[in-house]
Amino acid sequence: MRISLKKYAQALSDSLHGEKDSAKVNERIENLLKLLVKRKQSKLVKQFTPAFFSEWMKKNGKVFCKVTVPYEINDSETKDLEKLLSDALNRKATIEVNVDENIIGGIKIEFEDYIIDGTVLTGLKTLKSQIVNA
């Protein structure tokens, strides 16, 4: 039976939660890597870091969000956005802001397995598709 990447990430996150001893942390990570090799799932190692990071953040009441906007936002706007996302998601949000002028306007927010796309570009693409298919 194959165990999913998410299950491995959850198991490691659970086993490391509250652990202060760095030797034990290293040992548990090493044991997981050995287990992946033994089960012929070593290809999962490359994908493991983001999955583990997401699970670790979730376990600690945090969420990491990638935010795409059409122009630079200042520190005050970034803090306001972090607070809004924290309140909406009921977890402490940490954000990475990316600027993409191609989205024209609006905002795109990506976190965990979700994408909230309120950009003008996506709206125009949707409108175009509806017109073409009408």
Same domain, 79 and 127: yes
What is d(CA 132, CA 80) in angstroms, rounded to the nearest whole number?
39
Strand partners, 108: 68, 117
Coarse DSSP helix, strand, coil percentages of the chain, rounded to the nearest 5 percent: 60, 20, 25
Mean pLDDT of 104-117: 96
Residue-wise pLDDT for 50-106, tens only, equals: 889 988 999 899 999 999 999 999 999 999 999 999 999 999 999 999 999 999 999
The predicted pLDDT at position 111 comes to: 94
What are phi and psi for residue 62, nearest 5 degrees? Answer: -125, 165
Task: Examine the fold and report which residue of 38, 59, 80 is the final residue of a domain before the chain moves on.
Answer: 59
Same domain, 66 and 125: yes
Given a contact cutoff of 8 angstroms between Cβ atoms, the answer to whether 43 and 53 are in contact is: no
User: The domain containing residue 128 runs over which residues?
Assistant: 62-132
Same domain, 79 and 105: yes
Same domain, 114 and 68: yes
Same domain, 79 and 55: no
Domain count for the chain, please give it.
2
119 exposure class (CB count in 10 Å sphere: 0-12, 13-18, 19+): buried
Same domain, 68 and 105: yes
pLDDT band for position 18 (cuts 50, 70, 90) = confident
Same domain, 70 and 115: yes
Task: Examine the fold and report which residue of 35, 59, 83 is the final residue of a domain before the chain moves on.
Answer: 59
Same domain, 92 and 125: yes
Task: Examine the fold and report which residue of 14, 37, 59 is the final residue of a domain before the chain moves on.
Answer: 59
What is d(CA 58, CA 54) in angstroms, rounded to the nearest whole number?
6
Same domain, 126 and 75: yes
